[in-house]
């Protein structure tokens, strides 16, 4: 990097994802922010859902990923890394921590994503913020007003109370993170959403992460290539340039890419086409072999190759006592070469969110006296996740110890038919 290039670095707006339990008010908060912070020009204009939108607060831009709920688990991940710079963990103050709050929190913590807690629905008489703070403290998450470091804010998406403060907090976080980009470079970004429009062909919402994207730029996106034929901002307006952290709809792609696909401007359309063809070939070759996920069978080899330094585990068990016992004894198996880290432990059967979390974090799943439902079994199979059921604790520990030392004897897979 030359000095010249560093001089081009500018601060870029933060990209924010809103997470939390269903019905805790994620969409309401996103809607409220969008409604009250759009620029003059957009009011009355055709605002469209691009999967992300920009707002201006105190003269600074913030980009929100507009995919609340479980899709956010995937939207914030771009091939294992995170698209969002900051997460907002929304917790309804009348309900407190729920299953998906916990999942969101686990995902945030396992990816070291900076976050802000928004206690929502404070207009409700049943709201009990102190109680929720206590619940968070029980999970070792200490908010600032509870002697900790995690910023938090009390909001109501209904009355709008606290929303400005939330936006202030986002900008403060962003300032501390010093998110930088170089607008002089060729654009690089990630696909947030995509579709096939019957009239206009394949369309992708691209979140520009670095550089500047311009009309006419040749690019590769996932398995496809193209040249920017037209670009539209989240306001519906046609734009000719997109700068870092800006989401834009891009037209002119040879096919429909997937959310999470990397987008990269290259020298020429011909070169772009060659890369796309290469990638398609590779996918054909690889489709026979599954994506490599951590499995207990390969664990020792992966440790030796230095491919993993941390074994992440999701534990589901029938009773709380077993959850605690498993969590404690598994974590104690950590060695100098590998850290055993339980990223989620709870009572209950293995559900889809457990599998999603395991997939997002490349974890294995251990079920103790519980079973996966059909959907989660299928999901785990498709994603190549190692999911193991046990009925005695010493067997779990035996297997794990054997896996860590590379002595695991292959188990006969349980086959479920019908
Ligand atoms: P999401 O599933 O997390 O996106 O939750 P929604 O935004 O759809 O909100 C769920 C319900 O809670 C809706 O009926 C909202 O109107 C309501 N709601 C959201 N925020 C608030 C709030 O701050 N106060 C009150 N009283 N209701 C809210």
* Contact assessment for residue 116 and residue 169, using Cβ atoms and an 8 Å cutoff: yes
Average pLDDT, the chain: 87
Q: Which of 234, 260, 313, 314 is nearest to 84 (CA)?
A: 260
**Does position 353 have pLDDT exceeding 80, yes or no?**
yes
Residues 6+ apart with CB under 8 A from 339: 309, 310, 311
Question: What global pTM score does this model have?
Answer: 0.70
28 lines ligand 1 (CB under 6 A): yes
Question: Which residue's entry shows tokens 């294992």?
Answer: 80
Residue-wise pLDDT tens digits, 4-60? 456 689 999 999 999 999 899 999 999 999 888 765 444 444 456 778 899 999 999
Percent of the chain with pLDDT over 70: 87
- Tokens representing 21? 């339990």
**pLDDT number for residue 418:** 43
**Does position 1 have pLDDT exceeding 50, yes or no?**
no
**pLDDT number for residue 51:** 82
**pLDDT number for residue 40:** 44
Nearest atom within ligand 1 for CA of residue 159: 23
CA pair distance 143, 137, nearest whole angstrom:
8
**pLDDT number for residue 6:** 61
152 lines ligand 1 (CB under 6 A): no
**Does position 315 have pLDDT exceeding 70, yes or no?**
yes
The bridge status of strand 201-210 relative to strand 188-197 is antiparallel
The helix or strand, by DSSP H or E, that contains position 102, with its residue range, turns out to be: helix 99-110
Count of C-beta atoms within a 10 Å radius of residue 162:
21
**pLDDT number for residue 405:** 83
* Contact assessment for residue 191 and residue 205, using Cβ atoms and an 8 Å cutoff: yes
**pLDDT number for residue 68:** 53
Residue-wise pLDDT tens digits, 83-110? 899 999 999 999 999 988 998 898 889 8
347 lines ligand 1 (CB under 6 A): no
The bridge status of strand 339-347 relative to strand 224-232 is unpaired
Nearest atom within ligand 1 for CA of residue 68: 4
**Does position 304 have pLDDT exceeding 50, yes or no?**
yes
**Does position 270 have pLDDT exceeding 90, yes or no?**
yes
**pLDDT number for residue 2:** 43
**Reported confidence tier of residue 299, pLDDT bands at 50, 70, 90:** confident
Q: Between 393-405 and 296-304, two packed helices, what is the crossing angle to 10 degrees?
A: 30
- DSSP H stretches of helix in 287-316: 296-304
343 alpha carbon – ligand 1 mean position (Å): 28
**Does position 284 have pLDDT exceeding 80, yes or no?**
no
Nearest protein CA to atom 10 of ligand 1, as residue: 23
Residues 6+ apart with CB under 8 A from 274: none
**Hey, which of 157, 163, 166 would you mutate to test ligand 1's pocket, going by the most ligand atoms within 8 Å of its Cβ?**
157
Three-state secondary-structure class, residue 86: strand
What is the mean pLDDT of the segment spanning 147-158? 96
71 alpha carbon – ligand 1 mean position (Å): 18
120 lines ligand 1 (CB under 6 A): yes
């Amino acid at each position: 990097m030359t000095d010249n290039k560093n001089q081009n670095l500018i601060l870029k707006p933060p990209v924010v994802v809103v997470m939390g339990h269903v019905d805790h008010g994620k969409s309401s908060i996103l809607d409220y922010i969008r409604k009250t912070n759009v620029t003059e020009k957009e009011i009355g204009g055709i605002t469209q859902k691009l999967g992300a939108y920009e707002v201006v607060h105190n003269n600074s831009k913030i980009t929100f990923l507009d995919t609340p709920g479980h899709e956010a688990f995937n939207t914030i991940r771009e091939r294992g890394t995170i698209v969002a710079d900051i997460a907002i963990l929304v917790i309804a103050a009348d309900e407190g921590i729920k299953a998906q709050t916990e999942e969101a929190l686990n995902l945030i913590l396992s990816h070291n994503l900076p976050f802000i807690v928004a206690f929502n629905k404070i207009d409700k008489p049943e709201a009990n913020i102190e109680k929720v703070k206590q619940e968070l403290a029980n999970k070792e998450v200490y908010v600032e007003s509870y002697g900790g470091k995690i910023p938090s804010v009390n909001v109501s998406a209904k009355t709008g109370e606290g929303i400005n403060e939330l936006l202030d907090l986002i900008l403060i976080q962003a300032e501390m993170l010093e998110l930088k980009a170089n607008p002089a470079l060729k654009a690089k970004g990630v696909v947030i959403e995509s579709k096939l429009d019957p009239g206009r062909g394949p369309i992708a919402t691209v979140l520009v992460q670095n550089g500047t994207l311009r009309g006419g730029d040749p690019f590769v996106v996932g398995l496809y290539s193209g040249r920017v034929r037209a670009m539209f901002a989240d306001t519906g307006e046609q734009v000719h340039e997109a700068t870092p952290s800006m989401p834009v709809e891009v037209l002119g792609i040879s096919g429909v890419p997937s959310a999470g696909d990397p987008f990269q401007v290259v020298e020429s359309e011909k070169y772009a086409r060659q890369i796309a063809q290469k990638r398609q070939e590779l996918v054909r070759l690889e489709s026979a072999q599954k994506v490599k996920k951590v499995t207990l069978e390969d664990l020792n080899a992966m440790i030796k190759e230095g491919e993993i330094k941390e074994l992440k585990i999701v534990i589901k068990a029938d009773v709380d006592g077993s959850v605690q016992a498993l969590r404690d004894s598994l974590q104690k198996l950590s060695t100098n070469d590998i850290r055993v880290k339980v990223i989620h432990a709870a009572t209950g059967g293995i559900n889809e969110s457990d599998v999603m979390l395991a997939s997002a974090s490349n974890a294995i799943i251990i079920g103790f006296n519980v079973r996966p439902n059909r959907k989660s079994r299928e999901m785990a199979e498709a994603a190549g996740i190692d999911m193991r059921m046990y009925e005695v604790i010493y067997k779990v520990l035996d297997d794990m110890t054997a896996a860590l030392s590379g002595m695991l004897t292959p188990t006969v897979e349980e086959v479920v038919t019908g």
